A and B are shown apart, each in its own frame.
Chain A
Amino acid sequence: MGNLKLALFLAYKSIIKGNRWALVLIILVMALSFANLILTPSILSGVTGTLDEQQVNTLFANIVIDPEEEKYYLDHVGQIENKIEQIPGIVRVSAHLKSNAFIEYQWYEKDSPSDRGKSGTWSVIGIDPSREVNVTMIHEHIIQGSYLHGDDRDEVVLGIEIAGGKGAQSSSFLTLEGVEVGDKVRFTYPNGVQREYRVKGIFHAREMQADRLAFVTRQEMVSVLGRQVFADRASQILVSIEQAGDESWFIEEFEALGINGEIRSWREYGGAVGGIVSSFEVITSLINGIGLIVAAIVMFIVIYINVLNRKRQIGILRAIGIKRNIVITSYLVQALLYAISGIIFGGLIMYFVIEPYFLNYPLDLPVGLVSLSIEPSTVQKAVWGLILAAVFAGFIPVLSIVRQSIIKSIWGN
């Protein structure tokens, strides 16, 4: 019989006739360690995934076309929209006409012109709602009222962080302090144009930047900025594509079509999120490192106690001619079996308990609803991490015993 077969036989007998509770306990520890190695990065990955989705769904779509350097606007927007939408794989194109506005609520109740009242300055975006609903998801985050229609002229949709009141995260004085649907708000644009709008809807996209936007129709914005000049202009064009991840290919296509402007993937705008993601990766590595060390130490202690209890038996095995490496291999096999059992059991816990739970009850965090995002690389790292920890934790204790003389192992002197 080969050395490996003999090592397997010794390991098998040791496990089968060993302490059942110790076996159950160590496999449980391994399973929970494995689940933990997957759970933490998957939650953090879920958070970053949610942040990414929010960036795409509320602010940038997949591809953003900005005016060229030293220009404020993109011209011939209609042509650009038509050209882009002819490329297969494009969902829709939406041109944004942006401005700022000083927005006031209950301005008529102010005591004096110097009274700040309920007001603030925010970005206002003019959109074509019929296009926008295929590009961003703001319309799905309406919490009061309804979204814009193409022919709305005196109505506005406000982000929760402008409207204020219940659900807003910003301090009250940074909002309009509780605007409701149906209320009137007054917009004063930089060019001096002043408009009163009825609040048609309030949205809560759970993306702070998006929730600080106000939307009017493109028609309305054009009329504010000047129909003659702005009818076919845009501050930014957002493009949604069918298959996320293909942005680079489309950007090259747009450039080949001769579209003027700075064409970028949404990722290039995710600087702040990118920083958070990097921070999460560091935190994940730290937590995983600690998790692995804990798992390794637990296994080390269990195997060390096991090896100490069997010190005499190891001595006898060596006395009857069983080589050191067979004894070491038998303990490594045991450690690997603990790890593999833990991986299988932990995987079942993840697959049948934890993941379904998170799908049904996602974490309601300030950044949004966060579910688990289990990536194959995370599982691979956890599997190899636990196996390496097991090999280390199995090898060191048994090595320390088989290095002793046979006499010392058997009789302790």
Chain B
Amino acid sequence: MIKVKNLQKVYGKGPIATHALKGIDIEVKPGEFVAIMGRSGSGKSTLLHILGLLDMPTGGEIYIENEDVLKLSEGERARFRLEELGYVFQEYSLLGEMTILENVYLPALCLAKKNNYRKRAVEMLETVGLGDRLYHYPSESSGGEQQRAAIARALINSPKILFADEPTASLDAASAKVVLELFRKLNKDSGQTIVMVTHEPEDKKYVDRVIWLKDGLVWEKNQQ
């Protein structure tokens, strides 16, 4: 599903250049739930952003479903993100002026083919346990509820890969557990491929595999 070869990311130039990724080679198979872990500054968020086409690497190659995604234009990358990828960010990332329901169906609005976007959004919100919060605004919802709504939004266009960047970092333990169990359920029940960055060691129990990063390199593979 995802194949990464010699991925590099350098911030800045000359003597102040920071090598965030120094040559990453990884592979994620369809239906896998993979965690990227490592210390702060290890490059895990940078790797996730690049894999999710939110940022561009300095060098290397990324293939998603055998497509060389780094060769896509800006517009094509936006389309790819919309149709093939889903995101859950660390901080609450819902749009404040929209209801929970509108936030969820927004990505589906962009796709002309999704005529039943509203019905599907309701279904997605029911799946994440927010069937009774459709018309609430994010400011009227708890952190856990917002994060679950963000998951529903990420799934609305049936993405091939769901990326989550420390999705439980801002949540209390109970809400974090609900979110991680939801990921696990989506992965087991629907075969959803998930790539999640986390720094919580106990999150390992929810995932199939952990990719450890240290100083911009894959440090140890196939640990669980």
Chain A contacts to B: CB under 8 angstroms: 1-3, 5-6, 9, 13-14, 16-18, 313, 316-324, 326, 405-407, 410
Question: For A1, what are the chain B residues with a Cβ–Cβ distance below 8 Å?
Answer: 109-112
* Residues from 50 to 101 in B contacting A, C-beta threshold 8 Å: 52, 54-55, 74-75, 78-83, 85, 87, 89, 93, 95-98
Closest A-B pairs by Cβ, 4 of them: A321-B82, A17-B97, A321-B81, A1-B109
When distances are taken between beta carbons in the complex, the residues of chain A under 8 Å from B214 are none
**Chain A residues closer than 8 Å to B87, beta-carbon distance:** 319-320
**Given A13-B102, A18-B97, A407-B55, A320–B109 Cβ distance below 8 Å?**
no
A326 to B111, CA, bound (A): 13
B106, CB-defined interface residue at 8 Å: yes
Q: CA of A405 to CA of B78 in the docked complex: distance in angstroms?
A: 12
Q: Is the CB of A406 within 8 A of B54?
A: yes
Question: Are B49 and A320 in contact, with the CB atoms below 8 A?
Answer: no
A307 to chain B, nearest CB (A): 14
Q: Is B107 an interface residue (CB 8 A)?
A: yes
A9–B109 CB distance below 8 A:
yes
Contact A410 B89 (CB under 8 A): yes
Taking chain A's interface residues, is the majority helix, strand, or loop, or is none over half, making it mixed? helix
Q: List 9 A-B contacts (CB under 8 A).
A: A2-B112, A313-B96, A317-B95, A320-B87, A321-B81, A321-B85, A406-B54, A407-B49, A407-B54
Task: Indicate the member of B52, B55, B98, B110 with the most A CB atoms within 10 Å.
Answer: B110
Minimum CB–CB distance for A13 against chain B, Å: 5
Given the complex, which residues of B lie within 8 Å of A324, measured CB to CB? 74, 78
With contacts A320-B87, A320-B153, A324-B78 taken as known, whether A406 is within 8 angstroms of B55 at the C-beta atoms is yes
Instruction: Tell me which of A17, A18, A321 has the highest count of chain B C-beta atoms within 10 A of its own C-beta.
Output: A321
B82 pairs with A14, CB closer than 8 A: no
Closest to A413 in B: B11
What residues of B have a CB within 8 angstroms of the CB of A9 in the complex? 109
> Other CB < 8 Å A-B pairs besides A317-B95, A319-B54, 19 of them?
A1-B109, A3-B110, A9-B109, A13-B98, A17-B137, A316-B89, A316-B93, A319-B87, A320-B106, A320-B107, A320-B154, A321-B79, A321-B80, A321-B81, A321-B107, A321-B110, A322-B78, A407-B54, A407-B55
Interface mask (B131-166 → A, CB under 8 Å = 1, otherwise 0): 000000100000000000000011001000000000
Chain A positions within 8 Å of B154 at CB level: 320
Q: How far is the CA of A343 from the CA of B98 in the complex (A)?
A: 28
In the complex, which residues of chain A have a beta carbon less than 8 angstroms from the beta carbon of B95? 13, 313, 316-317
B97 touches A14 (CB 8 A): yes
A405 contacts B55, C-beta separation under 8 Å: yes
Residues in chain A near residue B157, CB distance under 8 A: 321
The residue of chain B having its C-beta at the shortest distance from the C-beta of A14 within the complex is: B97
Residue of A whose beta carbon sits closest to that of B153: A320
CB pair B54 A320 closer than 8 Å: no
Given contacts A6-B110, A322-B110, contact A17 B78 (CB under 8 A): no
Q: Which residue of B lies closest to A5 (CB)?
A: B109
Closest to B154 in A: A320
B residues less than 8 Å from A16 (CB atoms) = 97
For the complex, give the distance between the alpha carbons of A18 and B55 in Å: 30
CB nearest to B79 among chain A residues: A321
How distant is A327 from chain B, measured CB to nearest CB, in Å? 10
Chain A residues lying within 8 Å of B153, measured Cβ to Cβ, are 320
Task: Known contacts A2-B112, A13-B97; decide if A320 and B74 are in contact (CB<8 Å).
Answer: no
Q: Mark B26-70, 1 if CB is under 8 A from A, else 0.
A: 000000000000000000000001001011000000000000000
Most B CB atoms within 10 A — which of A3, A9, A13, A320? A320
Contact of A17 among B74, B93, B96 (CB under 8 A): B96
Cβ of A104 to closest chain B Cβ, rounded Å: 83
Shortest C-beta distance, A329 to chain B (Å), equals 13
A406-B53 Cα distance, complex, nearest whole Å: 10
